[in-house]
Amino acid sequence: MTYPAFHKETSAPGEHPQRCHQRRIFRSAGLFRIVLRLAGVLLLLSQIVQGYLAIAEGDSVSLMLVVGGLLAIVLLLATRPPLLENALTAFAIRSRYRRSRYRRYGWYLYTFPFVFSAFVLWAKIQMGPVSDRWIAVSGEGGLSEYGTALLYLIMPVFAYPMAKAFKRRNQRLMAWLYYLIVAAAFFVGMEELSWGQKLIGFEEPEFISRHNVQSEFTLHNLSFYQNHLSDYVFMIVGLIGSFVWIGLHYWQNRQRRLSLTSPALDLRYLFPDWPISSFFYPIAIFYIVREYTDYETRFEFIHGADQEHWEFVMSIGIFLFVLINFFRQGKEIDKGLD
């Protein structure tokens, strides 16, 4: 099925104006096309260079390089029109429903973190759970960390129009909360990139170097935060994301039972529903195991570098949450125009 309206941003004079929902899909497809093509090209080039260097040194091309190359090709193929437009339309329609024929789609979203986690654990076992090779792949500057940074940095592109729409609809509290999401997403994304230090290579100030556990231009790696707060913050966020949908369903049922409409604080836009909850399981489990068991010291399997993969899974969940609400709000705006 194709969607011919997506080739233009606005309709011709005399035609029905393009809906907000359609316009958001059109713009999202354009953004994703640019990001995926850039990511695919860079990933493919890096895999080719690494493969060439391995062959030049007399080594065989590793399975991870092959997987990385195939992933790059998939990313490039996914940008062919109208694949993105059709995929985003299906996602926008199906991901918002939980008591309908689209409920199966929610299970697809729910299952993804388990599949990804299984792949990560398989790769970890293949390379050696705490080997230097695994630490190099998983640690600072790895694909998971850059993926996390990328997702947080493009998140404001979707959250900011939502904040403006809330403000126009006189939902000022929701608007300011989404402005806060914009600021928080930008801050976290730049922190993952050390505010450009990893890309540009500038020297961090002496105070930061002296008090930062990784000698980087970041606040989240300051000694006090890392030694006393970091694990608990991730654990709490993971547990909230994993189970808050229970309270969300209670709130939605209450809204329907009492026929309440247009609440000042719409919790659907603030907390993820059950299909997204599984994206928070790995980060919660990882930090609970580290903090409350001796598994890390007794068995050589868990390493601090593993957290980058589980943070990446969580960032995917947060990004999907914002994206689902971006399209949901577009539909609600269209209904208000009918």
The region, left, alpha or beta by phi > 0 then psi within -120 to 50, assigned to residue 302 is: beta
319 vs 135 pLDDT, higher one: 319
What are the backbone dihedrals phi and psi of residue 99, each rounded to the nearest 5 degrees, phi first?
-125, 60
Choose the most confident range, by mean pLDDT, from 1-15, 94-108, 149-163.
Answer: 149-163
Q: What is the pLDDT of residue 252?
A: 83
Task: Quickly state the pLDDT bin for 99 (edges 50, 70, 90).
Answer: low
Report, as an integer, the average pLDDT of 124-145. 85
What average pLDDT is seen over the chain? 85
Residue 5 has pLDDT above 50, yes or no: no
CA separation for the pair 85, 80 (Å, rounded): 10
Lowest-pLDDT range, 64-78, 234-248, 311-325?
Answer: 64-78
Task: Quickly state the pLDDT bin for 13 (edges 50, 70, 90).
Answer: very low
Instruction: Please give the model's pTM, rounded to 2 decimal places.
Output: 0.86
Say what angle helices 307-337 and 230-257 make with each other, to 10 degrees. Answer: 30
CA separation for the pair 331, 278 (Å, rounded): 26
Q: What is the pLDDT of residue 262?
A: 59
Report, as an integer, the average pLDDT of 102-116. 86
Residue 10 has pLDDT above 50, yes or no: no
Residue 125 has pLDDT above 50, yes or no: yes
Q: What is the pLDDT of residue 11?
A: 37
> Alpha-carbon Rg of the chain, whole angstroms?
22
Six-digit token string for 74: 């998939």
Instruction: Please report which helix (H) or strand (E) contains residue 13, including its range.
Output: none
Is residue 19 within 8 A of residue 334, CB to CB? The reply is yes
322 vs 141 pLDDT, higher one: 322
CA separation for the pair 245, 221 (Å, rounded): 31
Q: What is the pLDDT of residue 16?
A: 40
Report, as an integer, the average pLDDT of 149-157. 95
Q: What is the pLDDT of residue 223?
A: 84
Residue 265 has pLDDT above 50, yes or no: yes
Q: What is the pLDDT of residue 98?
A: 53
Task: Quickly state the pLDDT bin for 317 (edges 50, 70, 90).
Answer: very high
Cα dihedral 170, 174, 179, 180 sign: positive
